[in-house]
């Protein structure tokens, strides 16, 4: 997993609509909470996404962006986003190339680890967490990121 203080690698991935999105494009709107999750529609990943959704008004007020990354295709992300009314971008890393860049590939190269990064506008990793099955730790991480920001002007 990438260390705090290191530069976040740029990437290009399709979003839930199949549009090309880069890290630099996401950061052009402000600091980013980038979270990696194993799969759409699984119990833990759905709970995590819905908790972030519920915090989203506070996240926006703090001037932060959110993007989730997992290996499913854009159509799966679109359905997941629509079913649970997720207001943030979901990115499709089907080849797990970005997961490799961020060091969050699962044990023995299988799947993805549940990891969350706070990336500032200059693409530096301010904070990071890998807590796999401890979803509540990721929610606390997001709350802490929000609390550490001034409201957007």
Please state, in angstroms and as integers, the Cα–Cα distance from residue 11 to each residue in 26, 45, 56, 71, 148, following that order.
Answer: 10, 22, 24, 14, 26
Both tokens assigned to 79: 């359905």
Euclidean distance between CA atoms 64 and 66, whole angstroms:
7
Q: Which residues are catalytic?
A: 45
Dihedral sign (CA 34, 29, 46, 53): positive
State whether residue 63 is helix, strand or coil: coil
């Amino acid at each position: 997993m990438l260390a705090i203080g290191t530069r976040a690698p740029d990437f290009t991935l399709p979003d839930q609509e199949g549009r090309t999105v880069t890290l630099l494009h996401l950061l052009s709107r402000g600091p980013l909470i980038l979270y990696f999750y194993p799969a759409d529609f699984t119990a833990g990943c759905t709970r995590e996404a819905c908790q972030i959704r519920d915090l989203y008004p506070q996240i926006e007020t703090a001037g932060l962006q959110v993007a989730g990354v997992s290996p499913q295709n854009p159509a799966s992300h679109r359905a997941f986003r629509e079913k649970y009314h997720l207001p943030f971008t979901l990115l499709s890393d089907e080849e797990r190339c970005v997961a490799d860049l961020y060091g969050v590939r699962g044990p023995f190269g299988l799947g993805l680890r549940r990891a969350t990064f706070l990336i500032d506008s200059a693409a530096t990793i301010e904070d990071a967490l890998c807590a796999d099955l401890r979803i509540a730790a990721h929610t606390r991480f997001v709350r802490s990121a929000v609390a550490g920001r001034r409201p957007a002007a």
